Structure 1
Amino acid sequence: MYNELPAEEQHEVEQALVHDPELATTCADLLLAQRSLDALACGPSKRSTDAILQYSRTFLRSA
């Protein structure tokens, strides 16, 4: 899925996928899930960031 196998092992996996429809279906499902997860946002929401910044300002005022 991440193209990290050596060429020979990759060829073996590809052959297994060609000859095993259930394995090919599972692999396709995993690739779809991987693409879906990669598309998700990886950072906090603006609301969360604003709340953290507002909270941190309370320490600046009390010092």
Structure 2
Amino acid sequence: MYNELPASALPEIEEALQHDPELATACADLLLAQRTLNALRYEPRPAVSARILEYSRTFPASR
């Protein structure tokens, strides 16, 4: 999934995926999950940032 295996291991993995439907299904599910997670946003919505900044202004400034 993350290209962590050496190239020499790929034929064995591909063969296992071709001959084991349960393994192939699990692999497909993991790849879908990976793509879904990679599409997530990594920053808060602007409204959330605004609320945090607004809350932070309720504290006295440190010197």
Calculate the TM-score normalised by the size of structure 1. 0.79
Q: Residue deviations 1:2-34, cap 9 Å, x none?
A: 111111222221111011111111101110111
The 5-angstrom pairing of residues 1-63 of structure 1 reads 1-59=1-59, 62-63=60-61
Aligned-pair Cα RMSD in Å: 1.5
After TM superposition, where is structure 1 displaced by more than 4 Å over at least 4 residues in a row?
A: none
| Larger helix share, 1 or 2 | 1
User: Unpaired segments of 5 or more residues in structure 1?
Assistant: none
User: Unpaired segments of 5 or more residues in structure 2?
Assistant: none
Q: Which moved more, 1:5-14 or 1:15-24?
A: 5-14
Task: Work out the CA distance in 1 between the residues paired with 2:5 and 2:48.
Answer: 40
* Higher relative contact order (CA closer than 8 Å, sequence separation 6+): 2
